[in-house]
Amino acid sequence: MKIRLMKYIYLIFCLFISTAFTINAQEIVSPNKKIKVIVSKKESNGKSFGQVYFKILFKKKSEYIEVMPSSPLGILRDDQQFTDNLKLVSESKAKEVNQKYEMICGKQKLCDNLGTEKIFKYVNSNNEPLNIVFRVYNDGVAFRYEFTNKRDSLVNVIDESTTYVFPSATNRWVQQYTESYEDFFPFSDSGKTNNKKQEWGFPALFKVNNNPVWVLISEANISENNCAAKLNNSKNPNEYKVSYASPRDSFKQTGVKTTLPWNSQWHTLIIGGLSDVVESTLITDVSEPNTLEETSWIKPGAVAWIYWAYNRGSKDYQKAVEFTDLAVEMKWPYVLIDWEWDVMTNGGNITDAVNYAKSKGIKPMIWYNSGTSWLEPTPNDRLLTSEKRAEEFAWLNKIGIYGIKVDFFAGDQQDMMKYCIDILKDAAKYKIMVNFHGATVPRGWARTYPNLMTTEAVYGAEWYNNKPILTNKAAVHNATLPFTRNVIGSMDYTPVTFTNSQHPHITSYAHELALSVVFESGFQHFADRPEGYKSLPPEPKEFLKNVPVSWDNTKLVDGYPGEKVIMARRKGNQWYIGGINGKDELQTLKINFDFLGTGNFKLKLIKDGENDKSFAVEVIKIKKGDVLNVECLPRGGFVAVLEK
């Protein structure tokens, strides 16, 4: 009797659920069938309007496992919402996206934008249209919102209900949100923190539910009609909601003001094993193609950089000369003349410094304050309008400047996104390359405007000047960045230092040397003072003279966030390998050479010596499939060059 009663109650319960929620599900599958997205809509009490959700499945061996449970979608304008009041009008057929393109700098030269796209057309309860476009790639998922109707008057897009839901048993490496994106990515298995706001910056890394499946969340293809977003999990530690940049004192706007039609940025989720995440080009895949007709003037390269050694800019002409001479000795193509160059003294001015560099065959670049945030360092007022930029860039062409570093942007609001893009566009007209500092993280602009060579947005080596915290955290931090920040674009960490700045480093010399390969940046600013490089033994010194900064291919050989990294990068016929130990204890790093082609290779290995300030050098014969164990000191590392 009890069993029959329980069955009856269960049937009644199921009937109630079926009337309360009608779930219409549609699927999109990646070209290799490994990733599946299911889009559904929950309708209350038989009504045709409701909330749209998506979930992500990943194929592990022969079955799919759930990577992301049902997660809400939706977007809000100040005049009306498109959240829990959506009705599905139509669903497009699955369409292949297949586009090959080249990158001038980055982890990979030849890229393939290959995925499956579906467009879901909805209307809200006011019959206003909204498209949600999904693309499913072999290494991830991207989606965006589109308002397709035409309206010349401005609308204000103020928020999203987009939320990324994760199982509670998920490990995470996320950075507390700051406008400069200069913080650490500490490990957490709960998502809880003492940070009251619970706001997190992109990118955010998750290892899902004790499975070997990783998800890196970010966004791409920011335009002048977007602001940048962040994540917030204050309501539930396992639910990360997308929120727009907060207003600031001089810019009261929330979200985006735009005419219609309009589309949001691409929301991106890179999914798979750690190697899938590290090697992914999804951020540039979904970004707009190159807008520049001629790009032969864009040249990645190594840069001699003054600031780190002396904790100041380039006010002293003699120091500018000293670092130009360093670039000559190290065969680096560029020297950066940093802040305060407008008041340069002690034997010469900025024009003299530029002429000296050119006389030595070195290409000079100079620093600018964006004029939007911290205004104390000068020059701070030369780029704020198109008229000022035209005048300034014409002068740079006249005296022979090849690139600019623009610093201290005010945040992630729409006006800052437009300002960055305007700088890139105007600089390109004058064949000037750009480095953004104190700015938002990369969001695909390097494909659209390939004169963008690198972006800071990282807690980098310059922090040895500011606080003592990096001394003890650098090794684990350095071993986390290749899985987080550096995945989404070039990273101006300013690495490879052997002497000390204001606060010491305790990473080994071989660890520092390895950062030239482990970290990718189209301009690689080598930060140490001249004696730091001149006093190196011949092998590491020669390595730094020749190591490339742009790559044809990248492979993650081994690694785990915060513990270890072995990165292999190819330039032409040569492979460069960099490995670092993120631990405060001895560790053996294992190089598996499965990534090699056929034939025999000569490997020159430069690794930790007897102590953290010495090197050991070996030459070894290697072929595909070999395994080499490299003993690393605490916080140690190695580099290697492979050639046939």
Residue 13 banded pLDDT, cuts 50, 70, 90: very low
Whether 312 has a pLDDT exceeding 90, the answer reads no
Whether 11 has a pLDDT exceeding 90, the answer reads no
CA 448 to chain centre: 15
Average pLDDT over the chain, rounded to whole? 94
What pLDDT, in 10s, does the model give residues 20-72? 444 568 999 999 999 999 999 987 656 789 999 999 999 988 899 999 999 99
Q: Which pTM does this prediction carry?
A: 0.95
Q: Which residue has the tokens 């800052």?
A: 416
Whether 570 has a pLDDT exceeding 80, the answer reads yes
CA 218 – CA 540 distance, rounded (Å): 36
What pLDDT, in 10s, does the model give residues 505-515? 999 999 999 99
Is residue 582 within 8 A of residue 566, CB to CB? The reply is no
What pLDDT, in 10s, does the model give residues 177-191? 999 999 999 999 988
CATH of domain 23-285: 2.70.98.10
Whether 6 has a pLDDT exceeding 60, the answer reads no
Q: Is the Cα torsion angle 427, 433, 439, 440 positive or negative in sign?
A: positive
CA 336 – CA 405 distance, rounded (Å): 8
What is the predicted pLDDT for the residue at 44? 63
Q: Average pLDDT in the 402-412 region? A: 97
Is residue 53 within 8 A of residue 38, CB to CB? The reply is no
Percent of the chain residues topping a pLDDT of 70: 96
What pLDDT, in 10s, does the model give residues 50-63? 999 999 999 988 89
What pLDDT, in 10s, does the model give residues 444-497? 999 999 999 999 999 999 999 999 999 999 999 999 999 999 999 999 999 999
CA 553 to chain centre: 17
Whether 16 has a pLDDT exceeding 60, the answer reads no
Q: Average pLDDT in the 212-221 region? A: 97
Q: Please report, as a single letter, which amino acid is at residue 338.
A: D
